[in-house]
Amino acid sequence: MNIAKLISDAVHSYNEQVGDNLVGFRNSYSGRGMYGRECVGITGPLGDCRKVIAMVINDAYDNTGDVDHEEELLAPEFDFRGLVDSLMDWEQDSMGRSDMVLYWSDIKPMEPGVEQFYEHEQCPDCGEDIPTGTASGEQCRNCGHVFVEQVGNDGAPAS
């Protein structure tokens, strides 16, 4: 199970629903007392961040035991109660006037995906941000562009 991917997807879905980028996903946040270790976090107004957490829980509940889940994020032996416990055990820091960062020191960042090969990590067709950890072959949620890992003439990943 990739909790970081579940959170990232929920942030994107929430922002689509409200029609604004109220909540941001932080794939590499280092909170107080972490001494440079990185974890996953979300930023925005506290109420909106809590709604994203609720979306993660609802999405996970809806897909519990669903072996055909499109991303195979939830295995049949998935521990739903463990996910809820992890998500509810966030820490938070202030990001200024009204924004907060909620972070989970026990949730490791996702490995970068194909987004690293695209200028500004955006879809070349529509300009939509490519979510962190997007796998080669996944489609843009906005326009359907298929993302691929870009390689140079020598077969090494292009930078």
Per-residue pLDDT of the chain in tens (159 residues, 90 and over written 9): 588 888 998 998 999 999 888 999 998 898 778 888 999 999 999 999 999 999 999 988 887 655 444 444 555 556 888 889 999 999 999 887 889 999 999 888 888 788 888 998 899 999 988 887 788 888 888 899 999 987 655 544 555
Predicted structure pTM score: 0.71
Do 13 and 41 sit in the same domain of this protein?
A: yes
Do 87 and 152 sit in the same domain of this protein?
A: no
Question: What is the domain extent for residue 8?
Answer: 3-104
The count of residues in the chain is 159
Give the per-residue pLDDT at 40: 92
Q: CA separation (Å) from 70 to 6, 43, 74? A: 12, 26, 10
Given 58, 76, 104, the domain boundary residue is: 104
Give the per-residue pLDDT at 104: 93
Do 67 and 36 sit in the same domain of this protein?
A: yes
Give the per-residue pLDDT at 17: 93
Q: How many domains does the chain have?
A: 2
Do 20 and 70 sit in the same domain of this protein?
A: yes
Q: Specify the amino acid at residue 129.
A: D
